[in-house]
DNA sequence: ATTATAGGCTAATTGTAATTAGCCGTCAAG
DNA sequence: CTTGACGGCTAATTACAATTAGCCTATAAT
């Protein structure tokens, strides 16, 4: 029973490192601790393993769809936090968001796999798009919009402000996925990014 | 003689759409208009074709390393242009840079291939990093730095300003690679980005 | 003229990965 | 206590993609 899930787990790891085509069912089986033919007791074929991973991810997203937020708690908590927001705590929140995306094991493997497989078919492209473009921009846009309505940040174009907030995070994330040893450097740059962001968009009355 | 080059060309197209492992030498040969075994008169094996693509790209980069610039002319021309820079012409330049990256056939195919293959080995990761992180940031940083020294833009942190300029371009490029039908939308967002960028960093004395 | 080479072809050959066949032990439900 | 389904194994089998063998033609250099 647990084997079924372990297969997905190990397959995801391998797919994220080498891509679907370069992973052999044998490799997956080996990591699970069984022989390749036994995999077929759990999944119809290799493709079904891949599909199951995508399905599992889709349900995880559904779950967290409402609760996705910067500090891992519920959105109301976020709103409260932002009421008392200052530069330092914003930097802290931003960094944590970045580090969550970067280190959370499932998130990370899934992102790398999608990066590799995104051109394989329309559906995967769409999943990627949702995860790393639509969702972050809409969620963060909501939060930043809140800060604007509370006068903590100032702009007449929240979507673009959100783009300015998020796109460096995204860029640096891809950098670290590629070259993990750049993490410290990325964090330093990220901190400067947030600081600058705050200077640019923060209420100028000091 | 030309066949040898055509092989690289068609292989790059296929690799960029499906990735190395999902392209069969047969597919390449078919597009070139020869039979698979004939490929081996030109390249030792499939890997050698891939390597030749990487090599060719490396030399292209060497060539343009010095001349890379926003409008496809030489850097001095860029500098001149920036002397008379205003918001509209900056938007125009930015858009053109984006559209160049997006539409230039070789550039586009190469970028997609690298995206798919970047985790395959360290070298590819490094090439990607150079192309889409180090080089754009350093070159654009140079140009923007010029604008700062001329008082057209204002900041005490040129690298981060450059990150703010470039990372939305990068993000939107990946969006369009994935879903080309989003191009118009991306251009619109991009325009707003540049406009906002100018507002944020432009000399506030108007 | 003749010959070597470049570049193409067809027909193997090889290698390997996915999948299937069929057997076996365990254990929970009747 | 016995049976059936679950999940594991070994030993095929299948499928197919990469590569090699060996042959042929044109052409360019000697």
Chain segment B130-188, per-residue pLDDT in tens: 999 999 999 999 989 989 998 999 999 999 999 999 999 999 999 999 999 999 999 99
CB B111 within 8 A of CB B103: no
Q: Please give the Cα distance from B93 to B87 (Å, whole number).
A: 10
Q: Please give the Cα distance from A84 to A66 (Å, whole number).
A: 23
Return the minimum-mean-pLDDT range out of A62-71, A183-192, B17-26, B83-92: A62-71
Pick from B202, B149, B192: which is nearest to B168 by CA? B192
Is B159 in contact with A119 (Cβ distance < 8 A)?
Answer: no
Q: What is the pLDDT of residue B91?
A: 84
CB A183 within 8 A of CB B175: no
Q: What percent of chain B has pLDDT over 70?
A: 88
Exposed/middle/buried for A200, CB within 10 Å: 0-12, 13-18, 19+?
buried
Is A133 in contact with B157 (Cβ distance < 8 A)?
Answer: no
Q: What is the pLDDT of residue A73?
A: 47
Assess A187–B contact: CB distance below 8 Å, yes or no.
no
Q: Please give the Cα distance from B117 to B111 (Å, whole number).
A: 10
Is A196 in contact with B164 (Cβ distance < 8 A)?
Answer: yes
Confidence of residue B82 (pLDDT cuts 50, 70, 90): low
Assess B19–A contact: CB distance below 8 Å, yes or no.
yes
With 90 as the cut, is the pLDDT of residue B85 above it?
A: no
Instruction: Say how many CA atoms lie within 13 Å of B163 toward its Cβ.
Output: 25
- Chain C nucleotides with an atom closer than 7 Å to a protein C-beta: 6-12, 16-22
Q: What is the pLDDT of residue A61?
A: 83
In this structure, is the CB of residue B38 within 7 Å of any atom belonging to strand D? no
CB B137 within 8 A of CB B160: no
Assess B175–A contact: CB distance below 8 Å, yes or no.
yes
Alpha helices in chain B (DSSP H): 2-18, 25-32, 36-39, 46-67, 75-83, 87-103, 105-117, 122-129, 135-149, 158-178, 183-201
CA-atom Rg of chain B in angstroms: 20
Residues 101-130 of A with CB under 7 A from strand D: none
The overall average pLDDT reported for chain A is 90
Task: Please tell me which of the candidates B112, B159, B178 has its beta carbon nearest to residue A129.
Answer: B178
Q: What is the pLDDT of residue B116?
A: 97
Phi and psi at A119, nearest 5°, equal -90, 0
In this structure, is the CB of residue B24 within 7 Å of any atom belonging to strand D? yes
Confidence of residue B61 (pLDDT cuts 50, 70, 90): confident
Structure tokens given for A175: 């950098």
With 90 as the cut, is the pLDDT of residue B129 above it?
A: yes
Which chain B residue lies closest to A178 (C-alpha atoms)? B125
H-helix or E-strand spanning residue B41:
none
CB B153 within 8 A of CB B203: yes
Task: Give, in Å, how far the C1' of C9 lies from the CA of B31.
Answer: 17
Task: Please tell me which of the candidates B119, B167, B175 has its beta carbon nearest to residue A129.
Answer: B175
Q: Using DSSP, state whether B121 is helix, strand or coil.
A: coil
Distances (CA, A) of A191 to A34, A197, B169: 46, 10, 21
Number of H helices, E strands in chain A: 11, 0
Task: Give, in Å, how far the C1' of D30 lies from the CA of B184.
Answer: 63
In this structure, is the CB of residue B47 within 7 Å of any atom belonging to strand D? yes
Q: What is the pLDDT of residue B76?
A: 59
Q: What is the pLDDT of residue B89?
A: 80
In terms of phi and psi (left: phi > 0; alpha: psi -120 to 50; beta: otherwise), the region of A74 is beta
Residue ranges in chain A whose pLDDT is less than 70: 1, 65-84, 204-206
Q: What is the pLDDT of residue A204?
A: 67
The overall average pLDDT reported for chain B is 90
Name the residue with tokens 């990014």: A193
Q: Measured CA to C1', what is the nucleotide nearest A4?
A: D7
Q: Please give the Cα distance from A15 to A28 (Å, whole number).
A: 10
Q: What is the pLDDT of residue A195?
A: 95
Structure tokens given for A170: 């995204």
CB B102 within 8 A of CB B108: yes
Q: What is the pLDDT of residue A87?
A: 75
In this structure, is the CB of residue A193 within 7 Å of any atom belonging to strand D? no
CB B18 within 8 A of CB A119: yes
């Amino acid at each position: 029973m647990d084997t079924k899930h372990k297969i997905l787990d190990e397959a995801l790891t391998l797919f994220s490192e080498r891509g679907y085509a370069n992973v052999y069912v044998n490799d997956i089986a080996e990591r699970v601790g069984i022989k390749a033919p036994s995999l077929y007791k759990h999944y119809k074929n290799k493709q079904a393993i891949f599909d199951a991973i995508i399905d599992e991810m889709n349900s995880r997203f559904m779950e967290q769809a409402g609760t996705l937020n910067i500090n891992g708690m519920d959105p109301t908590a976020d709103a409260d936090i932002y009421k008392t927001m200052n530069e330092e705590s914003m930097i802290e929140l931003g960094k944590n968001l970045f580090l969550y995306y970067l280190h959370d094991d499932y998130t990370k493997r899934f992102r790398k796999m999608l990066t590799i497989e995104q051109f394989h078919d329309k559906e995967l492209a769409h999943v990627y798009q949702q995860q790393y473009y639509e969702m972050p921009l809409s969620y963060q846009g909501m939060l930043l919009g809140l800060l604007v309505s509370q006068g903590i940040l100032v702009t007449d174009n929240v979507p673009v402000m959100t783009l300015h907030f998020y796109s460096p995070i995204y860029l640096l994330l891809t950098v670290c996925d590629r070259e993990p040893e750049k993490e410290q450097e990325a964090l330093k740059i990220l901190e400067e990014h947030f600081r600058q962001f705050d200077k640019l968009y923060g209420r100028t009355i000091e």
